[in-house]
Amino acid sequence: MLKIASKTSGIIILTTLALVVIFLSIEAVPAIFASQDALRDQIPWFANSGDHNIWQYSIPLLFSTILAALLALLIAVPLSIAVALFLTYYVPKRISSVFGSLIDLLAAIPSVVYGLWAVAVLVPRLSGVFNFLSRNFGWIPLFHGPVAEPPRVLLTVSIVFAVMVIPIITALACEIYSQTPHLNTEAALALGATKWESIRLSVLPFGKSGIISASMLGLGRALGETMAVLMILSPGHSFSLSVLMSGQHQTIAGNIAANFPEAGSLGVSALITTGLVLFLLTFIINFLARKVVDLPLKTKRRKK
Amino acid sequence: MAEKESKKELKKKLKKKEDKKAAKREKKSLMKLQRMIVTNLDVYYGDFLAVQDVNMEIRPKAVTAIIGPSGCGKSTFLRTLNRMHEITPSASVQGSVQLEGVDLYSDDVDPVEVRRHIGYVFQRPNPFPHLSIQENILAGIRLNKQKLSKEEENELVISCLKNVNLYKEVKDKLNQPATSLSGGQQQRLCIARAIAVKPNVLLMDEPCSALDPISTRSIEDLIVSLKSQFTIVIVTHNMQQAQRISDWCAFFNVTATGEPGRLVELDKTDTIFNSPNKKATSDYINGRFG
């Protein structure tokens, strides 16, 4: 009985996945095989981009999407780990459970609300920080100026993404860290480890694969996030790394949402093609994450 | 002339005596190095008094076994000897535990420092699963921020592994994960890890209870061979084991659940098993309860 049930569920999941791919592919066909002239005639935003075919059009979008999501993870993962460790190992149980449920609440806030908050509160306050970054670290390509004013730029989007995914990653990390076997932590403590050392020696290695999975969930949300991009970003179409300049980037999800209402049939097909690209990207990322998680134990000598 | 000679002789004799005295003193101080004295120790979990009023002396370079029925606080007591007890939230201790005359519970003593000097081996083998065999042994050294050259590290690893009779079995796979070893091997690795930091005292909490008879045998042999270097305290509820390996034996008992455990009797192992002073001890030894 259980065998049948689990088998059918497995098959259902796989068919759904396959159907999504098939749907996206079929819908994408007109745009993929359309001539350059047809695309330019029928889709104004495609004509503006000056690209030759739909793949060429997709790649800068893909680039911006990945860039925004990676920057968001770069901000969110360390913070989430720190918060999770703090809640699991440094705070009395009562307080940490209160904080834990607050964090779960944060995860439930809709992204429009985060977007509104970002536009009203975050954007005006960030320009000082960004100017500082650009002035002092402008030699890093990421922080090239001039800083847009107001800073409706990709880094702002990344920060909002980070705020959105921190609750998700933190909640999962808390769960993972609280399951570290006592024996491992005590083994470290019995050797004369301080609390932090015992965490480094037992909790962090134990949680590594779980944290990677949690980050991937966060990454998934960041890749697909639409509202915040639409509300914050002043869009562009390039491979620029300068995340402080405006008019440089647009994410796939943001682009679809922005252009969909005005799109004709070929336009819709073109947008769906970019959606297919995003789908493939998440697929590949998940696959790679699986690989990383399953990576055999490193037995090489730790470098010191 | 004769007088002079006799004087000389006397001086010589005196000097010899002095030397002997000095040697004795030195020996004594060395012996003292690993002696632990427990006075009026009460152990609490929150408000619950788990172990009451323990007074005992743990002899240096000898194996002291702690026996008693389940729930009498043997393990709890053992954990107070290197301040592992206070890791448990709300756990606390009153009284004193001294090592070399230093009270481990005085305010200026850091529990982390205490645990560096008093090693602990757990009931279940618990090597760090993400580290190799070699790295497991070096883990304590790394924590102590001791800088060792690669040769010194290798030497230490080999000597520790030889010390726990594991070297022959693992010499070709020092870089493999510790979890690739069998349970008994893992437990010996854990002992090697504990002695790598050269502790004064080694505490063991039923180190064989999760192991098969053959591994148990090898750990027991190991404990006996290690007592020339370390003071060892071992908790066991296997009385035969206590009889086989210990020099001193402490019997803990609890009158009823909810009551605190107490030290009933501490004596030479022979005495405890052949002519105990207290009736409870002889009842337990002879299997009338527990």
> Predicted confidence band at B31 (pLDDT cuts at 50, 70, 90)?
very low
CATH code where residue B232 lies: 3.40.50.300
Residue of A nearest to B114 (CA): A192
Check B119 against A300: CB less than 8 A apart: no
- Alpha-carbon distance of B271 to A266, in angstroms, equals 97
> Which residue, among A260, A284, A285, has the nearest Cα to A271 in the 3D structure?
A260
Across all residues in chain B, what is the average pLDDT? 85
Pick A194's closest partner by Cβ from B112, B127, B142: B112
pLDDT digits (tens, 9 = 90+) for A184-224: 899 999 988 888 999 999 999 999 888 988 998 889 889 98
- Residue A302: per-residue pLDDT: 41
- Residue B19: per-residue pLDDT: 62
Listed in sequence order, the residues at least 6 apart from B161 whose beta carbon sits closer than 8 Å to its beta carbon are: B137, B167, B170, B171, B192
Count of domains observed in chain A: 1
DSSP track, B142-178: HHTT----HHHHHHHHHHHHHHTT-HHHHTT-TTSBG
Residue A250 lies in a domain: yes
* Residue A183 touches chain B, beta carbons under 8 Å: yes
- Residue B190: per-residue pLDDT: 93
Say yes or no to pLDDT of B270 above 50.
Answer: yes
Across all residues in chain A, what is the average pLDDT? 88
Say yes or no to pLDDT of B210 above 60.
Answer: yes
- Residue A277: per-residue pLDDT: 92
SS3 B129: coil
Pick A191's closest partner by Cβ from B113, B130, B140: B140
Check A191 against B113: CB less than 8 A apart: no
- Is B16 or A71 the better-scoring residue by pLDDT? A71
Check B126 against A188: CB less than 8 A apart: no
Listed in sequence order, the residues at least 6 apart from A124 whose beta carbon sits closer than 8 Å to its beta carbon are: A150
Say yes or no to pLDDT of A304 above 60.
Answer: no
User: What mean pLDDT is predicted for residues A215-240?
Assistant: 88
Number of CB atoms found within 10 A of residue A82's CB: 12
- How many alpha carbons fall within 13 Å on the CB side of residue B204? 36
CATH code where residue A241 lies: 1.10.3720.10
Pick B143's closest partner by Cβ from A186, A192, A302: A192
- Residue A61: per-residue pLDDT: 92
How many Å lie between the alpha carbon of A295 and the closest alpha carbon of chain B? 12
* Residue A295 touches chain B, beta carbons under 8 Å: no
> Which residue, among B119, B209, B130, has the nearest Cα to B163 in the 3D structure?
B119
pLDDT digits (tens, 9 = 90+) for B137-183: 999 888 877 778 888 888 999 999 988 888 888 888 889 999 889 98
How many Å lie between the alpha carbon of B161 and the closest alpha carbon of chain A? 17
* Residue B127 touches chain A, beta carbons under 8 Å: yes
Cβ contacts (< 8 Å) between A202 and chain B: which residues? 128
Count of domains observed in chain B: 1
Residue A24 lies in a domain: no
Residue B254 lies in a domain: yes
> What range defines the domain where residue B96 resides?
34-129+194-285
- Alpha-carbon distance of B179 to A296, in angstroms, equals 13
> Predicted confidence band at B242 (pLDDT cuts at 50, 70, 90)?
very high
- Residue B10: per-residue pLDDT: 62
* Residue B175 touches chain A, beta carbons under 8 Å: yes
Pick B122's closest partner by Cβ from A183, A194, A299: A183
- Residue B246: per-residue pLDDT: 93
- Is B18 or B253 the better-scoring residue by pLDDT? B253
> Predicted confidence band at B70 (pLDDT cuts at 50, 70, 90)?
confident
User: What mean pLDDT is predicted for residues A84-89?
Assistant: 92
Length of chain A: 304
pLDDT digits (tens, 9 = 90+) for B194-207: 989 888 899 999 99
Instruction: Give me the helix-helix angle, A123-137 and A154-177, nearest 10°.
Output: 100
- Residue B99: per-residue pLDDT: 87
- Is A78 or A265 the better-scoring residue by pLDDT? A78
Preferred mutation among A90, A97, A191 to probe B, highest tally of B CBs within 10 A: A191
> What range defines the domain where residue A282 resides?
59-293
Residue A168 lies in a domain: yes
> Predicted confidence band at B30 (pLDDT cuts at 50, 70, 90)?
very low
Check A188 against B190: CB less than 8 A apart: no
Say yes or no to pLDDT of B47 above 80.
Answer: yes
Check B116 against A183: CB less than 8 A apart: no
- Residue B143: per-residue pLDDT: 84
pLDDT digits (tens, 9 = 90+) for A243-262: 888 888 899 999 999 998 88
* Residue A88 touches chain B, beta carbons under 8 Å: no
Pick A190's closest partner by Cβ from B113, B120, B134: B120
User: What mean pLDDT is predicted for residues A67-86?
Assistant: 94
Say yes or no to pLDDT of B29 above 50.
Answer: no
Residue of B nearest to A304 (CA): B142
- Residue A287: per-residue pLDDT: 85
Residue B156 lies in a domain: no
- Residue A285: per-residue pLDDT: 86
Check A191 against B194: CB less than 8 A apart: yes
> Predicted confidence band at A56 (pLDDT cuts at 50, 70, 90)?
confident
Residue B18 lies in a domain: no
- Residue B247: per-residue pLDDT: 94
Residue B205 lies in a domain: yes
Pick B128's closest partner by Cβ from A201, A208, A301: A201
- Residue B11: per-residue pLDDT: 63
How many Å lie between the alpha carbon of A162 and the closest alpha carbon of chain B? 30
Number of CB atoms found within 10 A of residue B154's CB: 14
Cβ contacts (< 8 Å) between B82 and chain A: which residues? 190
- Alpha-carbon distance of B184 to B190, in angstroms, equals 10
pLDDT digits (tens, 9 = 90+) for A98-154: 988 898 888 888 889 999 999 999 998 888 888 888 888 888 888 877 888 888 899
Which has the minimum average pLDDT: A167-176, B23-32, B191-200?
B23-32
- Is A50 or A303 the better-scoring residue by pLDDT? A50
- Residue A224: per-residue pLDDT: 87
